[in-house]
Amino acid sequence: MFVGSQSFITTCGRRLVPVQGMPEPPLVHYPMPYGQVTLTPGPTLTRAYDEAALLAALQGIVNRDTPRLYVLGMPAPDGSDLDAFWWQRMGELGWSVARRKPYVANSLNELLQMFGHRTRGLVVWDPNVAATANVAAMVAGVLDLLPVAYRPASGGKVSESQSSAEGVSLYTQLRSAGFGVAVWLVNRDGSSMFTGKGTIPGTNLPSSGSAKNDAYRWAQAHYLDRGRCAADHMAYCIDAYWLRHPKVGGGFWKSMLTNHDYFVAKRGFFFDLDPWPDETPIDDPGAKPGTDAATLNGILLSANERTGRRRMINVGGFPPYGSKYSNFGSAGGTHSPVATEWRYAQTLSGYNAFMEADTYMTNGSFIHHFPLKSRYTQSAPPDLASLRARGYVDAAGRVVPKRYFGFYVGDFDSPAFLLRLMPQFWNDPARGAVPLSWAFDPNLSLRAGPAMVWTRQTATANDSFVAGDSGAGYLNPGRLEEPRASGLPSGMDLWATHCNRFYQQWDLQVTGFIIEGNAPAMKTHGLDAYRSFSPGGIIGQKLPKQAVIGGLPVKAMDIGGLPTDVQAAAGVIRNRLFSPAGGIPQFKVARVVWQPPSWYKAVVDDLHAGDAIQGPIEIVDLATLLALMARYESSRTSAPA
């Protein structure tokens, strides 16, 4: 018996769930059994996939109004339990919830006996149309349903604690236990509801010619267009196509199922679509080129209409370029992964949407409840007195001609990166030895608040914080300005309002890197917007080499990336910093991605070993570098002819 009772609770006449099989503890931990699942297509992997999808939806539903269910088992890079690490940090940070003793559940069965009464039945998706797995996740959030694939045949075993699963599919067990079906995304005989032919079921819309796209257009018509799901929270997660090629990228977690809980809690819209208008994706070979892109544009346009164009749209996730939509490996696309990323960013930006460039993570729906203060301060921006005290400005107010260099410490544009990498990076014994400007997008506080607070509370004098990729979210700001391919009016003021809230909360003055991608360079409206929330300056791809525009320090990124080899990285930096000539100081910045403080210290040690040749290199934080650059440029332009 999967759930302990055959009695039913009926809601709205159609949505059936078993009665509560055991008392519901106020706080539950569940060690997930999926980390060691063999990545071989077959019954065991399929069973794990179905269970993890259901678990994520259940977690999102029960955590929506208060934190109740916390999962364990996501591995950190060193193999330790990442979820256990953050549980301990949350308790140390004073959250009363994380100081309680949890009840530890031993199986999914037990969780359903505790929490199944909070759901309203099942949404059943079609294994033959992989996109319906994402549609089911969306419907689950809107209607408080549990998603499950229509698999009436036998299923595999996940772990000994799930031994009852052997030989019986999850769908069969749930139905036998008394869970009724509220929404079918497959015909009751198992044939596909979405066929890519005729009319999209339940609508007057002609088929797109693609079962995949028909499923998403059905979801848009019934839920997004009607305002039944959130318009400002979306999830770009690979669909059940992952089951065909699970070894791409490595690890069960690449299924992205553990990311679902937050977006289920938010009643968000899920999708997995190719952004390229000239491409037929590998997962939908019969579709006309650009069908996916047209569907994506339609979804984003509808979301804008639902928000009244008054809110930015937060889209978690990232193109699954290892499996689809790029020319990486066997993904079958025609464009490089970076080109696909930029195309996707371009599309989102045209509709006032930004991405949180997720890879896999857990417990977003739980961590979202972590209490945050209205403001977290850091050291004040450098003023003239502090710059003089550090020997960077002389008595006459002139910038001392030295070689000034700063590291942009990125790329933290996803809560997943912050949660996964900070335990290693922040505990690195070399942290504090070198001035580092940590580039955390401030919107990550929505799902990684404990990491944001922990790093603020334990920062050294050499740890400072700037906004990361583009600001409070990754987009191309040049695509917010008119004219826009989407036909929408300018979204720049909306972006400024959105960013201002987060910059104020996290006391940010500098935007360390603006990813402009395929977008045009920002014009006056864009620079005015950044001046309003990032007055300490901005660094980007398509900005002037160095300038002060209307009082805003602006600078192009000098080195877009450094080699991982320490000596090679130091060599690149040294080659860009020549001895100051004629009393002219130099200001250079390099973008670095996912390196620990010990790496930066080793690079700086190598740089300083060569100081005698061309003079010292001053390693400074980005706020200081931009302040010095602005002082130099202002004095130069105001000097008499």
Q: Quote the Cα angle for 382-388-394, to 5°.
A: 135
Least confident segment among 23-37, 339-353, 372-386, 597-611 = 597-611
Q: How far apart are the first and last CA of the chain?
A: 89
67-82 pLDDT per residue, tens = 999 999 999 999 999 9
Structural tokens at position 403: 């070689």
- Band (pLDDT 50/70/90 cuts) for residue 218 is very high
User: pLDDT value at position 539?
Assistant: 98
**Where does the pLDDT of residue 2 fall: very low under 50, low under 70, confident under 90, or very high at 90 and above?**
very low
Which residue is it, tokens 């033959």? 128
Residues facing 236 on adjacent strands: 271, 317
Is pLDDT above 90 for 336? yes
Q: Is residue 165 over pLDDT 70?
A: no
Q: For residue 473, what are the CA distances in angstroms to 268, 316, 356, 542?
A: 17, 10, 6, 18
Look at residue 223 and tell me whether its pLDDT is greater than 80.
Answer: yes
| pLDDT over 70, % of the chain | 93
Q: How far apart are CA 69 and CA 108, in angstroms?
A: 12
- Read off the pLDDT of each residue in 14-36 and give the average, rounded to a whole number: 86
Q: What is the mean pLDDT of the chain?
A: 93
Residue 163: the pLDDT is: 34
Q: Where are the alpha helices (DSSP H) in 144-207?
A: 170-177
DSSP state, 430? T
Q: Does position 611 have pLDDT exceeding 50, yes or no?
A: yes
The whole-number average pLDDT for the span 189-214 is 97
Q: Is the pLDDT of residue 424 over 50?
A: yes
8 A C-beta contact, residue 355 and residue 259: no
Would you tell me how many other CB atoms lie within 10 Å of the CB of residue 452?
24
User: Does residue 167 have a pLDDT over 80?
Assistant: no
What domains appear along the chain, each with residue ranges and CATH number? Answer: 8-367 (no CATH), 384-638 (3.20.20.490)
Higher pLDDT, 49 or 309: 49
pLDDT digits (tens, 9 = 90+) for 122-156: 999 999 999 999 999 999 999 999 999 999 976 65
Q: Which amino acid is at 433?
A: A
Q: What is the mean pLDDT of residues 30-53?
A: 95
- Residue where the block lists tokens 């690979």: 238
Query: Per residue in 432-460, pLDDT tens?
Result: 999 999 999 999 999 999 999 999 999 99
Q: Is 454 helix (H, G, I), strand (E, B) or coil?
A: helix
Q: Give backbone dihedrals phi and psi of 14, rounded to 5 degrees, phi first.
A: -125, -20
pLDDT band at 19 (very low <50, low <70, confident <90, very high): confident
Parallel, antiparallel, or unpaired for β 510-514 and 463-469? Answer: parallel
Residue at token pair 């006032």: 352
Structural contact between residues 596 and 409, judged by C-beta atoms closer than 8 angstroms: no
Nearest-angstrom CA–CA distance, 69 and 29: 6
- 521-573 per-position pLDDT tens digit: 999 999 999 999 999 999 999 999 999 999 999 999 999 999 999 999 999 99
- Ordered alpha helix ranges (H), 462-614: 492-505, 524-533, 566-576, 597-609, 611-614
For residue 153, the one-letter residue type is A
Determine the Cα–Cα distance for residues 185 and 133; give it in Å rounded to an integer. 9
Give the residues across from 270 on adjacent strands.
235
pTM given for the model: 0.94
Evaluate if residue 639 carries a pLDDT over 80.
no
Measured in whole angstroms, the distance separating CA 311 from the mean position of its chain's CA atoms is 18
> Is the pLDDT at 610 greater than 80, yes or no?
no
* Cβ–Cβ under 8 Å, residues 450 and 86: yes
Q: Is the peptide bond before 483 cis (omega within 30 degrees of 0)?
A: yes
Element (H, E) at 432: none
Residue 581: the pLDDT is: 65
Please check whether residue 58 is in contact with residue 17, taking contact to mean a CB–CB distance below 8 angstroms. Answer: no
Structure tokens at 94: 């004073």
Q: 5 pLDDT exceeds 70?
A: no
**505: nearest Cα among 449, 461, 454:** 449
Q: What is the mean pLDDT of residues 322-335?
A: 96
